Structure 1
Amino acid sequence: MTITAVKAAPVSGNATLPEPRNRTIMGRSLKTLAFHGVSLILIAVVLYPAVWMIASSFKPSSEIVGNAAIWSENFSFDNFIKAMDGIGGISTLQFFGNSLFLAVASVIGVVFSSTLTAYAFTRINFPGRKFFFTMMVMTLLLPFHVIIIPQYIVFQQVGLVDTYVPLLLGKFLGAEAFFVFLMVQFMRNLPKELDEAARIDGAGHIRIFCSIMLPLMKPSIITASIFAFIWSWNDFLGPLLYLNTPDKYPLPLALRLFVDQTQSSDYGAMIAMSVLALLPVLLFFLIFQRHIVEGVSTQGLKG
């Protein structure tokens, strides 16, 4: 057998990278630079209102209206002092307490009613299950404004106006379709072999629900809790309809008290209270944000 040696071509000492490769690297760098530049511009546009609000909370009221500038030379904490003093003889801490009570009660009601309803739709066979689930999902298409007047008339007839019952009763007894749908999709991915093994050991629906389903549904429960807390904390229309006494107002209605159409409005204190009102929601979101994607993606156990 004859082995033929192949002589390598000599390499010049001044050899450089091929021109097409240089162009490819330069093109990728320009695309990356353009992407980051556009992203920074979009971030600046999105965050500008929040930055302006925070900066305006340190401005005098006379410099807030009609002034789009962010910073002011008259930097002061007077707006926060006025905001914490409250308005109309009602302390700001009471408004915070009212909002916190409604938000926490809404979370408890949503988790209680939605998990039970989702368990019934996914683990209990009863006549018309698919029909009732379809009808429940269809209520997502029903605008809230359609049922405002009938609901108000009902609560007025039973004497529950100017109480927190109309704002919380639906959370505990009328499971909201969005949260039920979220938990149903999550629970469907949980293996039914766990239920069967529990039934062999003599467990009933209550034991299976409390000991097996609830611990496994933690991501979806946290996700539902975050949405329920934020929606209740920011709710303005519901309290506006059913609450008449100022000392029962939550923060969204309390902010409205700083705007007076007959006299001068204290926009500085209102914006300062708005900044304070954002802090609980921001903290709540930051603490549990890592569970949101896990809960919305509805990924259960694989087996």
Structure 2
Amino acid sequence: MSATTGSDQSPLHRLRQRPRDSVVVYATLAIGAALWLFPLISTFRQSVQYGGLHNYLTVLTTDYNGVNLVRAFGNSLLIAALTVTLTCGVAALAAYAFAKLDFPGRETLYHAALLLLAVPAVAIMVPVYWITGNLGLFNSPVGVALPEVVLTLPFAVLLLRNYADGIPNELIEAARVDGAGHGRIFRHVFLPLCRPALVNLAALCVVWSVQDFLFPSMLLNDAGQTTAAQAVQTIKGAFAPTPLQTSQYFAALMLLAVPAIVIVVVGLRFITQGITAGGVKE
């Protein structure tokens, strides 16, 4: 019997072997891409209808209702960086404990953490607002990053723990035999082996953080701290209904969409791997 690889038996591979099904699949993908691109193309066309490409330079160098788009991009990236650092750090420690340490109640704690996946953002709005106020973190990137981390951590622990389960325990035991403690094993053995899953998680965290509108709108009242997601609504009233300013508003919308699009395109491979990481065990 000839050996076949797992990828040769994938549904996509089998569809490619049947021309009729392949045509249907690619036609469906083309229609979906066209539906997704139509609003983007329409927005770009509107943005250059009056004033041309100079509209983009104008909105980048002008403050609207106290909001500067370049600063808004920087605010979003700063919050995303904090979210990624905290989420990956805490989730990696939790994954190591749940996957490689044996302690009473381990599985109970793990499943309790997974139950938090069912908690929606709106359910913690009041506690988040109260805690943020008591900590004095209003109008602070940290104040926005912390609730984002809280909501992301259950998924992050699930992702990294599933991946860590595939790391051979023999490597951990060999390090222990050589006299390494848990701290050294975590830094020099566990983290390097989990690097693919950590990159996947980081890409997902950046996308989710940049697109978050709820917590920045609730916790950031200073126009100078406005994020890119907030700016779409904040700058709307600053444009008059003239043809030129309407085109400039569409130019602003295009620029605000750029970070999320770039992140998704650049990190698409990592995001796809992240969703399936740990899904197959040898």
TM-score calculated relative to the size of structure 2: 0.81
Equivalent residue number for residue 286 of structure 1:
265
1:142 paired to 2:119: yes
Once residues 115 and 274 of structure 2 are traced to their aligned partners in structure 1, the CA distance between those partners, rounded to angstroms, is: 22
2 CA distance for matches of 1:194 and 1:95?
A: 45
Contact 1:113 1:172 in 2 (8 A): no
Q: Which residue of structure 2 lines up, in the alignment, with residue 21 of structure 1?
A: none
AA of the residue aligned to 1:53 = T
The structure with the larger Rg is 1
Cα separation, partners in 2 of 1:148 and 1:90, compared to 1, 3 Å: closer
Structure 1 segment 108-147 matched on structure 2, within 5 A: 108-147=85-124
* 2:201 maps to 1:211: no
Contact 1:186 1:217 in 2 (8 A): yes
How far 1:167 sits from its partner (Å)?
1.3
Higher RCO (CA < 8 A, seq sep 6+): 2
Q: Report the Cα distance in structure 1 between the residues aligned to 2:272 and 2:20, rounded to whole angstroms.
A: 32
How many equivalent residue pairs? Answer: 262
Cross-structure match for 1:189: 166
Q: Which has the higher helix share?
A: 2
Residues 7-27 of structure 1: CA distance to partner in whole angstroms, max 9, x if unpaired?
A: xxxxxxxxxxxxxxxxxxxxx
SS in 2 for 1:147: helix
8 Å contact kept, 1:189–1:300: no
Paired letter, 2:55? N
Q: CA RMSD in A?
A: 2.8
* CA displacement at 1:260 relative to structure 2: 1.7
Aligned partner of 1:246 among 223, 236, 248: 223
CA distance in 2, matches of 1:48, 1:132: 46
Kindly tell me: are residues 43 and 187 of structure 1, through their superposed partners in 2, closer, same or farther at Cα, counting changes over 3 Å? same
CA distance in 2, matches of 1:285, 1:262: 29
Identity of aligned residues (%): 27
- 2:237 is paired with a residue whose SS is coil
Q: Give the aligned residue type for 2:162.
A: Q
- Offset of 1:209 from its aligned partner? 0.9
Equivalent of 1:93, from 52, 70, 77? 70
Higher mean C-alpha deviation, range 241-250 or range 269-278: 269-278
Q: Which runs of 5+ in 2 are unaligned?
A: 1-17
C-alpha displacement of 1:43: 2.7
Q: What is the distance in 1 between the residues matched to 2:78 and 2:28?
A: 42
Question: Which moved further from structure 2: 281-290 or 97-106?
Answer: 281-290
TM-score, normalised relative to structure 1: 0.76
Counterpart among 176, 198, 214 of residue 221 in structure 1: 198
Contact (CA 8 Å) 1:79, 1:269: kept in 2 or not? Answer: yes
Displacement of 1:292? 3.4
Q: Which amino acid aligns with 1:113?
A: V
Which residue of the partner structure matches residue 296 of structure 1? 275
- Aligned partner of 1:57 in structure 2 is 47
Contact 2:59 2:69 in 1 (8 A): yes
Aligned to 2:253: 274
For the residues of structure 2 that align with 1:300 and 1:33, how far apart are their CA atoms? 29
Q: Distance in 2 between matches of 1:297 and 1:34?
A: 25
Q: Deviations over 1:52-71 (max 9, x none)?
A: 223222234xxxxxxxxxxx
Runs of 4+ in 1 over 6 A off after TM superposition: 172-175, 300-303
C-alpha separation between the residues in 2 aligned to 1:218 and 1:248? 32
1:95 touches 1:250 (CA, 8 Å); kept in 2? yes
